[in-house]
């Protein structure tokens, strides 16, 4: 394991320990996230995605105008790894108990009976086909997002690897001034103020690309008038704040660990800062994404 992956593992474990201390987070949920996060750490170095030379990337001029590099439905992925991960996460659900275990059992029954094809599941997830997942949600009303959660968990290492490559090769480090990811066009999940200068970095909710954005701009609608972009903090959650937009009434959480001995792990920080989502919702703001874990 190289130094980068070793550091990533250390940071994930530190964040998981912090999550385990949050009394308002259900232990079963934290345990599930921890097991999937550790599985992803193991599988990241094994991911082998070949980006075909004829991949339908956006025209460079159109990309400069705001078009994403690649449609989500066109993302290549490591098919062998995705199928392996799907089954491993299904095993994790079996041991989780409760509604998610029951929903997972239904998925396994459909797989064994040939009623569910994993390639079709992955294709539906990539194209964000809600109709495909609706029957599964109806059969498991207490855990309706189980099947898309499994698909996301299976595909995440591939999506992240593709996003990293495309971002480096076709976008670079310039600030992206549009309310969606420069790689896939999906909305951002969470923001971070990085470095002592506080460069604003956004993490995509779909491919997890981490890209630079203007600091004074709504992450979704592009509003730039400072008076319409207030933010608030919660004393009990140091290092996090909520940036809201009076124009579109949406919000994004921001990680600001510049004065703290912490390292950002965006997908886990999104869960660690769940209390701020509750406050933002009470204040009448919403966000167009689920959590970084698909629920």
Give pLDDT tens digits for 76-107.
999 999 999 999 999 999 998 899 999 999 99
Dist. CA 187–CA 178, nearest whole Å:
10
Mean pLDDT of all residues in 8-37: 92
Q: What's the length of the chain?
A: 295
Helix axes 146-170, 27-43, angle to 10 degrees: 40
Comparing 108 with 50, the larger pLDDT belongs to 108
Dist. CA 196–CA 258, nearest whole Å:
6
Nearby residues of 58 by Cβ (< 8 Å), 6 or more positions away: 67, 68, 69, 70
Residues paired with residue 188 on neighbouring β-strands, in sequence order: 204
Q: Model confidence over 160-190: pLDDT tens digits?
A: 999 999 999 998 888 999 999 999 999 999 9
Q: Binning pLDDT at 50, 70 and 90, where does residue 1 land? A: low
């Amino acid at each position: 394991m190289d130094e980068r992956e070793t550091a990533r593992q250390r940071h994930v474990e530190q964040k998981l320990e912090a999550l385990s201390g949050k009394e308002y987070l259900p232990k079963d949920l934290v345990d599930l996230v921890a097991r999937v996060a550790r599985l992803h750490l193991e599988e990241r170095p094994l991911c082998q995605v070949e980006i075909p030379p004829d991949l339908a990337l956006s025209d460079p001029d159109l990309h400069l105008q705001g078009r994403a590099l690649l449609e989500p439905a066109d993302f290549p992925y490591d098919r062998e790894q995705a199928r392996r991960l799907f089954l491993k996460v299904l095993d994790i659900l079996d041991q989780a108990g409760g509604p998610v275990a029951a929903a997972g059992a239904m998925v396994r029954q459909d797989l064994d009976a040939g009623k569910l094809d994993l390639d079709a599941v992955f294709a539906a997830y990539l194209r964000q086909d809600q109709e495909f997942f609706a029957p599964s949600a109806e059969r498991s009303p207490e855990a309706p997002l189980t099947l898309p959660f499994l698909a996301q968990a299976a595909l995440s290492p591939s999506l992240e690897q593709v996003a990293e490559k495309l971002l480096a090769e076709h976008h670079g480090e310039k600030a992206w001034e549009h309310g969606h990811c420069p790689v896939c066009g999906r909305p951002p999940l969470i923001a971070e103020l990085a470095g002592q200068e506080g460069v604003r970095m956004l993490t995509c909710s779909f491919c997890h690309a981490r890209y630079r954005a203007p600091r004074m701009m709504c992450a979704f609608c592009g509003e730039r008038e400072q008076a319409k972009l207030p933010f608030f903090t919660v004393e009990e959650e140091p290092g996090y704040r909520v940036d809201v937009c009076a124009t579109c009434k949406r919000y994004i959480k921001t990680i600001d660990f510049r004065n703290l001995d912490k390292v950002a792990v965006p997908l886990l920080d999104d869960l660690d800062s769940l209390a701020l989502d509750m406050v933002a919702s009470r204040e009448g703001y919403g966000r167009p994404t689920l959590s970084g874990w698909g629920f």
